[in-house]
Amino acid sequence: MSIKIAPNVLSSGNIASPSGALTALALNAAYNHLVSGTGFAIRLFSRDLEPITEVYLYATSFTGTKASVTMRCRAYGENPAAVIRPGATLLATSSTTTLPAGASGWIKFEFATPYTPTVLGEIVWLVMDNTAAAPTVNFPNIRSALNAAVPLQSLINNYSTVNGYTANGVSLPRAAAFFVQGGATRGFTMTNIATPVATNTRPRGVVLTPPIDTQIELIEFSSIPGVNMANIKIWDSTQLPNDTPMYEFATGQTGRASSELSGSIFFEPPFIARKNRTYYVCWDFTTNNTNPTCLTVEDHAAIASVADQNMDNFTLLPLVRDDGANNWVIERNFSPRLQLIIGDLLSATITSAS
């Protein structure tokens, strides 16, 4: 399982805030490692001694002829001078590159002979570049910044270069790129803030499946529903929207209005979520509303098998909503910008964690 841990807080979900605009970086020059040219890299600290088998990079568009674009990904060690650039030691080279089916989407690199870090904390650079015969004519434009401020995931950062990394790379901490190591997804599969719910008053919220018995005490949200938020309700996943929730309280009670308007609501009393049981933690509204805004995976269908690993039981929480016909709709390509604060983990033992 994965749990976000702060000094005195456990949380589940994400509280990302809007920040900046979507931008793109043109890989429009030939790349010569440690000599010259434009490239993009994921720099990672190895937390697992497992093979790095796949790498993904999001292309917002292609200039020239997409069919003429060829790309590769190569793994390198860190520069021995410990500066922010890869070194000369080649560790692995991708064997297959798959471009997206449409005009935009995820570029996939696969390694027939992947690199496996040898020690925990080893720094590995995954360097991607355009190998087209005419790279200044046929090239991808990659998403180099999101419109969301999100925390770095698992000691990962991204860097671009226009000089082959002969100097330190330019930091792109919010680029859309991720990799698969030992079957686990690490990096940014979510690329944008979106509003997927049409304006209505129906319940919507998150899917929660705790790996151990968990006491939920507080909900926090980035997009503030404020006075229009009517109720906090929790259904078991076997129930329908018209069934009586197993847990409910009205918002706006005396003494709570200021905290609700500032973006947090205490559960009264705390809710005990049982191990491996799925719940829909929702709220509804007194007037039509489009909240919550969500982080979204673009081109989700093309990468669902790996992106959904990043939407696991306790880290990112999928969107659930009432469709108005007494059915629940779960959309795993969206993660509402809210988090649940956990007061206690009630299981006697935790056998493993990552």
Please report, for the domain that includes residue 173, its CATH number: 2.60.120
The residue segments making up the domain with residue 71 are 23-188
Asked if residue 13 belongs to a domain, the reply is: no
In this structure, the answer to whether residues 168 and 83 fall within a common structural domain is yes
Please state whether the peptide bond connecting residue 225 to the residue before it is cis, i.e. omega within 30 degrees of 0.
no
| Whether residues 154 and 182 fall in one domain | yes
pLDDT of residue 319: 95
**225, 293: one domain:** yes
Q: Are residues 166 and 238 in the same domain?
A: no
Q: What's this model's pTM, rounded to 2 decimal places?
A: 0.85
Question: In this structure, is residue 49 part of a structural domain?
Answer: yes
In a domain, 215, yes or no: yes
Q: Is the distance from CB of 328 to CB of 206 less than 8 angstroms?
A: no
Same domain, yes or no, for 57 and 103? yes
The number of residues in the chain equals 354
pLDDT in the model for residue 57: 96
What does the DSSP assignment read for 147-178? SEE-PPSSSEEEEEESBTTSSPPEE-TT-SEE
The answer to the question of residue 107 being in a domain is yes
pLDDT in the model for residue 267 = 81
Domain boundary among 135, 155, 188: 188
User: What pLDDT is recorded for position 75?
Assistant: 98
What was the pLDDT predicted at 303? 93
Q: Considering all CA atoms of the chain, what is the largest pairwise distance in Å, rounded to the nearest integer?
A: 68
What pLDDT score does 232 carry? 85
- 292 and 227 share one domain: yes
Per-residue pLDDT, 263: 73
* Domain final residue, candidates 140, 155, 188: 188
Domain count, the chain: 2
Residue 95 has what pLDDT? 98
Q: Which of 145, 151, 141, 153 is nearest to 103 (CA)?
A: 141
**57 domain-assigned:** yes
Indicate if 74 and 177 belong to the same structural domain: yes
The pLDDT assigned to 222 comes to 72
Per-residue pLDDT of the chain (354 residues; tens, 9 = 90+): 444 444 345 777 777 777 777 889 999 999 999 999 999 999 999 988 999 999 999 999 999 999 999 999 999 999 988 789 999 999 999 999 999 999 999 999 999 999 999 999 999 999 999 999 999 999 999 998 877 776 655 568 899 999 999 999 999 878 889 999 998 888 888 888 888 999 999 999 999 998 889 898 888 877 655 557 778 899 999 999 999 999 988 766 555 555 565 677 888 788 899 999 999 999 888 889 888 888 888 899 999 988 888 776 567 899 999 999 999 999 999 999 888 888 877 764 544 444
Task: Output the pLDDT for position 3.
Answer: 47
**Residue holding tokens 């805030």?**
17
- Residue 80 included in any domain: yes
Same domain flag for 204 and 167 = no
